[in-house]
Amino acid sequence: MTSVLFTNVRLIDGTGAQPYGGEVLVQGNRIARVARGTRALPPSGATVIDGAGATLMPGMVEAHTHFSWNDAAGLADLQRLPLEEHVLWSANVAKRYLEAGWTSCVGAACAKPRLDVVTRNAINQGLIPGPRYLAGSQEITVAGGLGDETLPHLPFPEFSFGVLVSGAEEMRKVVRMFLKYGVDHVKLNLSGDNFTPSSPAGTTWMSDEEVAIAVKEAHMRGKRVAAHARSCESIKQCVRHGVEIIYHASFTDEEALDMLEANRDRHFVAPGIGILVAMLDHAAPWGITRAKAVEMGYEVELAAAAESLKKMHKRGIRVLPGGDYGFAFTPHCENARDLEYFVKYIGMTPMEALLSATKYGGEIMMRGDELGQLKDGYLADLMLVDGDPLSNLGILRDQSRILAVMKDGAFYKEPEIRTAQSRWGRSVA
Ligand SMILES: [Zn+2]
């Protein structure tokens, strides 16, 4: 069994405890011991990593990932990529996420039916490097809703990145198809989105019958459901029907917040706040000036989302980072922007922002008792960071500051500061 000892590191252990100097011994794919102080753990036989005071923390978890989004400025561009290139693209993005410190990701929908499942399987089989991954379906939508990119004069429904259904029976069939392909959860587009002017964010598109049958079919197979839900009514649909993973959740009222709070152990909210900020502040090079973004409704939505999420956070509803990275204005691997936005817009402390990416991350991966914290017996998913993320969360999106990334006990980014010998002169096993 391989054994690695991290020494001389400052630990942010993902429990909420203040940082402390300590050591972590990894044996095989698990954390054998976490200890405070120096020279607390025996190095015998271990490869010793002297962190020189760097921060060791749990690997981060992205709650709303789109490996197949291709850094384009528009939705139609997702489908212009042929399948073969799209598979390779997704595999490459998965590798980049892992190297950037995202050791687990929840797929929030893929652009073609099996892209997520195939990527997850290849990672699990060791064919490609990538995070622990829960595979999503394509987005399931209805005519006119987000994801319906069909054109009236062209008979190609495949051109839509969403799969169109109408009515409970079509929903049942499509959900069963994705379950057959092996998804971990299905993704429903319940609300509109300001990106598509004909179905703005505050509107709700899917019927209760359609949502109910999707949830029933997924739960029958022990799988979860995730939803694009920006409108107030769509958030209530999520709670009423038991949709576990709620994406966006921008517009709320007291009733929606009460419903969420009463069921806060069941739901996760991953708002994807980064895309709202990006549309207002970073999309001008692609023709969406701030004035245009305001006209599209993004200023109103960001203000509403900040209010809603602040209240959710206060009520103990789990809010997690990630969302809609993979567009031109939200390029892949900039995902840790969300942590800074959680502080700026939602009022989290930097420590709370880190917990949202680690402790809550383990929970959304359904492995809260063994993932997302540095604890004895937990899975060895961790990252070594140059500097203090609590005083500057921005370093988490600076690749040069991510000194090492370990997943399941193996390095996917090797530390340069590895010492070849244990500190008492014994050779490394
Ligand atoms: Zn999304």
CA of 335 to the centre of ligand 1 (A): 13
Q: C-alpha distances in angstroms, 120 versus 109, 116, 117, 258?
A: 13, 6, 5, 36
| Ligand 1: centre distance to CA 153 (Å) | 28
CA of 64 to the centre of ligand 1 (A): 6
The pLDDT tens digits of the residues spanning 188-234 come to 999 999 998 889 999 999 999 999 999 999 999 999 999 999 999 99
Q: Would you say 68 and 112 are in contact if contact means Cβ atoms under 8 Å apart?
A: yes
Evaluate if residue 428 carries a pLDDT over 50: no
DSSP-assigned letter for residue 277: H
* N-terminal to C-terminal alpha carbon distance within the chain: 10
Residues with CB under 5 A from ligand 1 (ion): 108, 324
For residues 217 and 212, what is the distance between their CA atoms, to the nearest angstrom?
9
pLDDT value at residue 418: 56
Q: How far apart are CA 338 and CA 94, in angstroms?
A: 19
* Ligand 1 geometric centre to CA of 2 (Å): 38
Report the mean per-residue pLDDT for the chain: 94
Model confidence pLDDT, tens digit, residues 281-296: 999 999 999 999 999 9
Cα 289 to ligand 1 centroid, rounded to whole Å: 22
pLDDT in tens, 385-418: 999 999 999 999 999 999 999 999 999 999 986 5
Q: Do residues 323 and 342 make contact, with C-beta atoms less than 8 angstroms apart?
A: no
Q: What is the model's pTM?
A: 0.95
Distance from Cα 5 to the centre of ligand 1, integer Å: 38
Q: What is the DSSP string of 160-211?
A: SSEEE--SHHHHHHHHHHHHHHT-SEEEEE-B--TTSTTS-TT-B-S-HHHH
Separation in Å, CA 238 to CA 78, 189, 242, 302: 27, 11, 6, 21
Give pLDDT tens digits for 315-340.
Answer: 999 999 997 999 999 999 999 999 99
Rounded-to-integer distance, Cα 290 and Cα 300, Å: 13
Can you state the angle between helices 273-281 and 337-346, rounded to 10 degrees? 90
Q: Among candidates 52, 36, 33, 53, which has minimal Cα distance to 44? A: 33
Q: What is the pLDDT of residues 7-16, one digit of tens each?
A: 999 999 999 9
Q: Do 155 and 121 touch, CB atoms closer than 8 A?
A: no
Report the Cα 174 to chain-centroid distance in Å.
24
Q: Which residue has the higher pLDDT, 249 or 425?
A: 249
- Closest-CA residue to 105 (of 88, 85, 119): 119
Angle at 58 between CA 404 and CA 182, to 5 degrees: 100
The two tokens of residue 167 are: 């009515």
Contacts of residue 419, defined as CB under 8 A and 6 or more positions apart, other chains included, come to: 48, 49, 50
Cα–ligand 1 centroid distance for 277 (angstroms)? 14
pLDDT tens track for 32-57: 999 999 888 888 889 999 999 999 99
- 108 alpha carbon to ligand 1 midpoint, in Å? 6
